[in-house]
Amino acid sequence: MRYKNLGRLLKIGTLLFTWGLICTVLLQIVCRFSWLQTPSWTEEASRLFFIYAMSFAAGLAMKNDFYVHLDMFYNYLGKKVKKVLEIAIPLFSLLLFLTMALFSVKFIVLGIPEKSPSMGFNMGIAFFSMFIMSISISYYLWVKIARTIKKQRL
């Protein structure tokens, strides 16, 4: 249930921020070619939408195995080694992303006193995207480990 809900949340987040990105850039273009004055915040807003869209989609990319890897040497490895690697790879990756999530919190705190140049929001909001990215990837890595252990036990 939690697995489905998180997936749904990430999908909604990705789509919302993608449409946000499209609309903001369009607004920038429309204003430039009309009598309206181009708002100063469009570039910053589109960058924010982009980073958030990427952060939400990064977890989904993990869920659907979108990250490319090198297969060449793996095929020469023995069955036992492959079995160990099935858990070791997501485990070490999980360690990396959990550490990143932890330090993302520090990064957010560091950004709170800072203000974005044109929109004036606190930069902690922008830096929060890194937390979403690392925690969503971590979650799907954890799911992968749990499923592999379950499969290997069976």
Partner 1 sequence: MIWILVVVFIVCLVLRFPIAFALGLACFCYLLAKGIPLIIVPMKMYSGIDVFVLLSVPGFIMAGNLMNQGGLTEKIITFCNHLLGHIRGGLSLVNIGASMLFAGISGTAISDTASMGSILIPAMKKEGYDADFSCAVTAASSTVGPIIPPSVPMIIAATLSGLSVGKLFLAGALPGLMLGIGLMITAYIISRRRKYPKHRRSSLKEISRGFVDTFWALLMTFIILYGIIGGIFTPTEASIIAVVYALIIGKFVYKKLNYKKVQVVLLDSMKTSASLMVLVGFANLFGYILITEQIPQSISNGILGLTTNKYAVLLLINLLLIVVGTFMETLAALLILFPILLKVAVGVDVDPIHFSVIAVLNLIIGLTTPPVGVCLFVASSIGKVSIGAVSKAGLPFLLVRVLVLILVTLFPAISLALPILFMD
Q: Which of 6, 41, 45, 104 binds partner 1 (CB under 8 A)?
A: 104
Q: Which long-range contacts (CB under 8 A, 24 or more apart) does 41-50 make?
A: 41/118, 41/119, 43/118, 44/116, 44/117, 44/118, 44/119, 45/20, 45/119, 46/21, 48/125, 48/126, 49/17, 49/18, 49/20, 49/21, 49/24, 50/17, 50/21
Any contact of residue 87 with partner 1 (CB under 8 A)? no
Q: Residues 54-83: x/- map of binding to partner 1 (CB under 8 A)?
A: xxxxx-xx--x-xxxxxxxxx---------
Any contact of residue 129 with partner 1 (CB under 8 A)? yes
Q: Considering only CA atoms, give the Rg of the chain.
A: 20
Provide the binding-site residues for partner 1, judged by CB under 8 A.
Answer: 11, 14-15, 18, 21-22, 25-26, 28-29, 43, 46-47, 50-51, 53-58, 60-61, 64, 66-74, 85, 88-89, 92-93, 96, 99-100, 103-104, 106-107, 110, 126-127, 129-131, 133-134, 137
